[in-house]
Amino acid sequence: MNERQAKFIEHFAATGNATQAAKEAGYSAKTAKQQGHRLKSQLRHQIAEQTSHVLVDRVPKLIDMLSVIAENSPSDTARIAAIKDLLDRAGLKPIERIEQTTIEAMTDEEIQRELDALTKH
């Protein structure tokens, strides 16, 4: 890999714009679109790796931003969404809705099957 390709990877991972990344890496403005497309395809594995590093480095700042939204947003919807996202990332996923079956709607046989299924575990 040459220096221009390395610069292309760096700029593309930061911006997601292949044409602009090609220009920033030193490719001609006339051929930047074609070069960007070619390099994006040719260097896709290196781009994915670099993009992953860029995102990982931003995680602490993004979590701080979510915390600020959760604490200070004037919108209840935004605060709740931020809180849910923070709890999910901490491994505290909200409880899923549990389906309830009313016993009154079940026959005696259905109730017995349910009890048998529960006691087998």
> What SS3 class is residue 26?
coil
Identify the residue with better confidence: 118 or 3: 3
Domain ranges of the chain: 3-89
Q: Of 27-36, 41-50, 77-86, 110-119, where does mean pLDDT reach its minimum?
A: 110-119
- 8 Å CB contact between 9 and 43: yes
pTM of the model: 0.55
Identify the residue with better confidence: 35 or 62: 35
Per-residue model confidence (pLDDT) at position 7: 96
Return the C-alpha torsion angle 21, 43, 40, 24, nearest 10. Answer: 10
Span 25-61, pLDDT tens digits = 999 999 999 999 999 999 999 999 999 988 888 888 9
Mean pLDDT of the 94-114 span: 74
The answer on pLDDT for 119 being more than 70 is yes
Distance CA 55, CA 16 (A): 12
Q: Mean pLDDT for the chain?
A: 88
